[in-house]
Structure 1
Amino acid sequence: MKRTKQMLGATSAIALVALSSSPALAAGTSAGDKITNNVSVSFDVGNITQTAVTASDEFTVDRKVNVTVTVDQATVSVTPGQNKAVLAFEVTNLSNDTLDYQLSALADAANPAGLTILGIYLDANKDGILDQAEIDAGPITYLDDMTEDEMRQVLVVADIGLNAANTSEFDVVLSADARAASGSAASPGAALLNSTDANTAGVDTVLADGAGDRDNAGEGDFSARGTYAVSAADVTVSKTSRIISDPINSTTNPKAIPGAVVEYCIVVSNASGGATATGIDVTDALPADVTYDSSFGIFVNGDATCANGTNGLTATPPTAAFADPNVTADLSDIGSAQSRSVYFRVTIN
Structure 2
Amino acid sequence: MNRISRLLGTVGAAALTVVSASPAFASGTASGTSITNTVTVQYQVGGVSQTATGASDTFKVDRKINVTVAEVGSTATDVSPGATAQVTTFTVTNNSNAALDFALVAAQQTGGAAAFAGTDSFDATNVKIYVDTNTNGVYDPGTDLEVAYLDELAADASKTVFVVADIPLSLGSTDVATVSLQATGREGGTAASMGGALSQTNTSAANEVDPMFVDTVFADVAGAVDGARDGAHSAKDDFKVLAAALSISKLSRVVSDPFNGTSNPKAIPGATIEYCIVVENATGSATASSVAISDPLPGTVTYDGGGVFLDGTVTSGACNADGTNTGAHAAGVVTGTLSSVAAGETKTLRFRATIN
Taking the aligned partners of 1:269 and 1:212, their CA distance within structure 2 comes to 44
Superposition map of 1:304-319 within 5 A: 304-305=314-315, 309-314=319-324, 317=325, 319=326
Partner of 2:136: 127
Taking the aligned partners of 2:307 and 2:203, their CA distance within structure 1 comes to 85
Superposition map of 1:3-152 within 5 A: 4=23, 25-26=26-27, 28-74=28-74, 75-110=76-111, 111-113=120-122, 115-135=124-144, 137=145, 139-152=146-159
Offset of residue 2 of structure 1: 5.9
What code does the residue aligned with 1:105 have? Answer: A
Decide which of 275, 278, 282 is 1:264's aligned counterpart: 275
Decide which of 297, 305, 308 is 1:298's aligned counterpart: 308
What code does the residue aligned with 2:42 have? Answer: S
Offset of residue 253 of structure 1: 4.8
What code does the residue aligned with 1:234 have? Answer: A
Q: Is the 8 A contact 2:133 2:143 kept in 1?
A: yes
Give structure 1 regions of 4+ aligned residues with deviation exceeding 6 angstroms. none
Which stretch shifts more, 251-260 or 270-279? Answer: 251-260
Which stretch shifts more, 218-227 or 249-258? Answer: 249-258
Offset of residue 268 of structure 1: 0.6
Provide the alpha-carbon RMSD of the alignment.
2.3
Taking the aligned partners of 1:227 and 1:73, their CA distance within structure 2 comes to 11
Offset of residue 306 of structure 1: 8.4
Offset of residue 230 of structure 1: 1.7
Q: Deviations over 1:198-250 (max 9, x none)?
A: 11331111111111111221111111111122221111211122233333454
Q: Deviations over 1:111-160 (max 9, x none)?
A: 3235114211001233332213435x3x2111111111011111110111
Offset of residue 194 of structure 1: 4.9
Quickly say closer, same or farther: Cα 1:127–1:67, change in 2 above 3 A. same
Offset of residue 266 of structure 1: 0.3
Report the identity percentage. Answer: 42
Offset of residue 48 of structure 1: 3.9
Taking the aligned partners of 1:158 and 1:227, their CA distance within structure 2 comes to 11
Partner of 2:190: 183
Offset of residue 30 of structure 1: 0.9
Taking the aligned partners of 1:3 and 1:282, their CA distance within structure 2 comes to 73
Decide which of 161, 170, 189 is 2:168's aligned counterpart: 161
The alignment's TM-score, normalised by the length of structure 1, stands at 0.85
Taking the aligned partners of 1:171 and 1:53, their CA distance within structure 2 comes to 65
Q: Is the 8 A contact 1:179 1:192 kept in 2?
A: no
Partner of 2:253: 242
Q: Is the 8 A contact 1:168 1:230 kept in 2?
A: yes
Q: Is the 8 A contact 1:310 1:343 kept in 2?
A: no
Q: Find out whether 1:330 has 2:337 as its counterpart.
A: yes
Q: Is the 8 A contact 2:69 2:93 kept in 1?
A: yes
Taking the aligned partners of 1:2 and 1:93, their CA distance within structure 2 comes to 22
Taking the aligned partners of 2:37 and 2:219, their CA distance within structure 1 comes to 26
Q: Is the 8 A contact 1:142 1:188 kept in 2?
A: no
The alignment's TM-score, normalised by the length of structure 2, stands at 0.83
Taking the aligned partners of 2:107 and 2:81, their CA distance within structure 1 comes to 20
Partner of 2:177: 170
Offset of residue 192 of structure 1: 2.9
Unaligned runs of 5+ in 2: 1-19, 112-119
What code does the residue aligned with 2:291 have? Answer: I
Number of aligned residues: 324
Offset of residue 307 of structure 1: 6.7
Offset of residue 33 of structure 1: 0.7
Q: Secondary structure of 2:319's partner?
A: coil
Taking the aligned partners of 1:66 and 1:153, their CA distance within structure 2 comes to 17
Q: Secondary structure of 2:341's partner?
A: coil
Taking the aligned partners of 1:115 and 1:343, their CA distance within structure 2 comes to 40
Q: Is the 8 A contact 2:106 2:127 kept in 1?
A: no
Offset of residue 325 of structure 1: 1.7
Q: Is the 8 A contact 2:303 2:352 kept in 1?
A: yes
Taking the aligned partners of 1:145 and 1:3, their CA distance within structure 2 comes to 24
Taking the aligned partners of 1:256 and 1:63, their CA distance within structure 2 comes to 89
Q: Find out whether 1:275 has 2:286 as its counterpart.
A: yes
